[in-house]
Amino acid sequence: MHNVMKSFREVLSNASNILILTGSGISAESGVPTFRGAGGFWRKYQAQSLATPEAFAANPSLVWEFYEYRRQLVSKVKPNKAHEAVAEFQKRKIAEGKNVSIVTQNIDGLHQKAGAQDVLELHGSLYKTRCTKCHNIAINENIPICPALAGKGSPDPNIMSSDIPREELPRCEIEDCGALLRPDIIWFGEQLDENVLQQAFDIIASCDACLVIGTSAIVYPAAMFAPQVARRNVPVAEFNIEETPATGQMQYHFQGPCTTTVTEALA
């Protein structure tokens, strides 16, 4: 084993409050496309142009088709070795009386599927809806999410959008409400949930080791979390197939697919 990996494994064995921050790169080897990689397009759109409140207001049918597609895709994939290594590491550390906090930008639920506990989802979940009127949040794993979206959401760029009437899109099930539902996901230009953000800040301020796995480190506020930890002189290790804008600030950088590098670090 490489000396640098040995050194980081030693850091981990002495740490008692470990933060694991993840992005879409950890799910790439499960078959979930990353945002800024080649698979980041749906039809002719980039996520940046559909994952906004403006896009939803202008065309909720198109945005729901996009999310129906991603719900379908993610429901078919499995957690990979990196998700499993994270979940097993957390279990092991808890048994030693230590703490491992998993904070993810992902909305795919794969950490939880691998058995991870208390995952803090910064950007929401593909499997939750939020009412646009009464703001009720509900878990919803139905595929299709409503009859009108059955068989919709093909990523083929030549497909015409379905223009499903609002009444036939997912609707709130709270009595006397029935308003349009949206995905419970933080879109560009929206604030993260205050409570979730506060929990993240508490973890950032208290951890004594940190892993940051599969994130491009360009979307705020999550992009500042690992650099903030590093500034306290806490050892931070980045796991990525390439360098990121944060790499220079990290004590460790393990380059390569995370199913290899993360499993080695956490074994």
Question: Contact residues for ligand BJW (CB under 6 A)?
Answer: 23-25, 28-29, 34-37, 47, 51, 105, 107, 123, 185-191, 214-216, 218-221, 239-242, 244, 257-258
Strands 17-22 and 41-42: unpaired
Residue 202 has which token pair?
């508490």
Report the C-alpha gap between 183 and 127 in whole angstroms.
Answer: 8
Contact residue for Zn ion among 174, 192, 197, 241 (CB under 5 A): 174
Give the nearest distance from C-beta 22 to ligand BJW in angstroms: 8
Contact residue for Zn ion among 26, 126, 172, 211 (CB under 5 A): 172
CB 213 within 8 A of CB 226: no
Dihedral of alpha carbons 79, 238, 17, 186, sign: negative
Total residues binding Zn ion (CB under 5 A): 7
Q: Fill in the amino acid letter for 4.
A: V
Of 17, 19, 210, nearest in space to 99 by CA = 17
Give the nearest distance from C-beta 13 to ligand BJW in angstroms: 23
If phi > 0 it is left, if psi is from -120 to 50 it is alpha, else beta; for residue 16 that is alpha
Q: Is 169 in the site for Zn ion (CB under 5 A)?
A: no
CB 99 within 8 A of CB 17: yes
| Closest CB to Zn ion among residues 5, 179 | 179
Region 177-216 residues binding Zn ion, contact defined as CB under 5 A: 177, 179
| Closest CB to Zn ion among residues 113, 130 | 130
| Closest CB to ligand BJW among residues 37, 248 | 37
Specify whether 123 is catalytic. Answer: yes
From ligand BJW, Zn ion, none, interface partner of 149 (C-beta below 5 to 8 A by class) = none
104-to-125, 133, 170 alpha-carbon distances in Å = 10, 27, 26
Give the nearest distance from C-beta 150 to Zn ion in angstroms: 23
Contact residue for Zn ion among 134, 159, 205, 224 (CB under 5 A): 134
List Cβ neighbours of 21 (8 Å cut-off, separation of 6 or more): 103, 104, 105, 210, 211, 212, 213, 215, 222, 225, 226
- Point out the catalytic residue in the list 83, 111, 123, 253: 123
From Zn ion, ligand BJW, none, interface partner of 226 (C-beta below 5 to 8 A by class) = none
Give the nearest distance from C-beta 106 to ligand BJW in angstroms: 6
Give the nearest distance from C-beta 40 to Zn ion in angstroms: 32
Report the C-alpha gap between 83 and 263 in whole angstroms.
Answer: 9
From Zn ion, ligand BJW, none, interface partner of 174 (C-beta below 5 to 8 A by class) = Zn ion
Of 86, 71, 67, nearest in space to 25 by CA = 86
Binding site for Zn ion (CB under 5 A): 131, 133-134, 172, 174, 177, 179
Q: Which residues are catalytic?
A: 123
